[in-house]
Amino acid sequence: MSDNLQQFVELLPQLGEGILVTLELTLGGAVLALLIAFTLGFGSRARTKWARVPSRVVVEFFRGTSLVVQIFWLYYVLPLPPFYVELDPLACGILALGLNYGAYASEVVRGSINSVAKGQWEAAIALDLSAVHRMRRVIMPQAWPLMIPMFTNLLIQLVKGSALAAYISLHDLNFFTEELRERTSDTVFSYTVGLIFYFVVAYLLTLAMNALEVRAKNRLGAGPSLREVLRLAPVQTTADVGAGTAVLTAPKGGDRA
């Protein structure tokens, strides 16, 4: 065991690199996915079918083809005719992750906007608020907290998907795990360490998303503030409209994309 630990310590720089690359893939992929999600999410809700149909086609295409196929397609096929585009492997990874999870996330955007109570739309119409204004000031602030739990799920899946990067010549955490195994010749030790680090990354991201959710719900007056939750200070009770108590929740499970 002490041998293993010594090898592990020697490989710490590689661990650092691995975590960094995994984080780059995760955050890059997540930002791209978010942009794509809102673009396609709004696109699928557009009045005109010239926006709606292409959006839905793109969404179903990236949801229906596998992430593995997508990432290898970008890596192996894009440099070939007729494209001749040679993407940097990191860009490959971020693009594949962003497109794939962005498509899933767009359904979350669409569904959450549709979930906002009909009365809110009607009140905004009654006040003659313009469509853009209505979305910006009334609907989106209420749809956003609904999106966060499902985004958290997708973010964790994105981190897991980033492990493919090791197979497109990136030195991510998965690559480090294999490096460690080669050094120590101890499969159980190395892979347990690797999995633990993935778990820590996922757990920290989940905590961050949960904090985001608490803050978003608080802005709606539908839950305690982050400070109240962290200090476990007494929470003020909420009345009927839009009520929901938000507490730091464990990672939410079993949700189909």
Footprint of another protein on 140-169 (CB under 8 A): 141-142, 156, 159-164, 167
Q: Does 256 bind another protein (CB under 8 A)?
A: yes
Q: Where are the alpha helices (DSSP H) in 45-88?
A: 49-64, 67-72
H, E, C per residue of 134-202: HHHHHHHHHHHHHHHHHHHHHHHHHHHHHHHHHHHCCCCHHHHHHHHHHHHCCHHHHHHHHHHHHHHHH
Q: Which of 222, 47, 88, 231 is nearest to 145 (CA)?
A: 222
Q: Which of 165, 164, 163 is nearest to 194 (CA)?
A: 163
Q: Which of 181, 175, 184 is nearest to 1 (CA)?
A: 184
Shortest distance in whole angstroms from residue 42 CB to another protein:
19
Q: Does 251 bind another protein (CB under 8 A)?
A: yes
Q: Does 8 bind another protein (CB under 8 A)?
A: no
Report the residue from 115, 169, 236, 245 that binds another protein according to the rule CB under 8 A: 236
Q: Token match 């633990």: residue? A: 196
Q: Does 16 bind another protein (CB under 8 A)?
A: no
Q: Which residues of 149-171 are buried (b: 16+ CB within 10 A; e: fewer)?
A: bbbbbbbbbbbebbbbbbebebb
Q: Does 243 bind another protein (CB under 8 A)?
A: yes
Q: Does 126 bind another protein (CB under 8 A)?
A: yes
What is the identity of the amino acid at 168? I
Q: Does 137 bind another protein (CB under 8 A)?
A: yes
Q: Pick the piece of the chain touching another protein (CB under 8 A) from 7-15, 88-96, 215-223, 224-232.
A: 215-223
Report the residue from 119, 231, 232, 247 that binds another protein according to the rule CB under 8 A: 119
Report the residue from 46, 195, 208, 230 that binds another protein according to the rule CB under 8 A: 195
Report the residue from 31, 46, 91, 123 that binds another protein according to the rule CB under 8 A: 123
Site string for another protein, 27-56 (x = CB under 8 A): ------------------------------
Contact call for residues 25 and 201 (beta carbons, < 8 A): no
What interhelical angle do 12-44 and 173-184 show, nearest 10? 150
Q: Does 188 bind another protein (CB under 8 A)?
A: yes
Q: Does 222 bind another protein (CB under 8 A)?
A: yes
Q: Does 11 bind another protein (CB under 8 A)?
A: no
Report the residue from 50, 61, 91, 249 that binds another protein according to the rule CB under 8 A: 61
Shortest distance in whole angstroms from residue 105 CB to another protein:
15
Site string for another protein, 72-101 (x = CB under 8 A): xx--xx--xxx-------------------
Q: Does 238 bind another protein (CB under 8 A)?
A: yes
DSSP-based three-state secondary structure for 83? coil
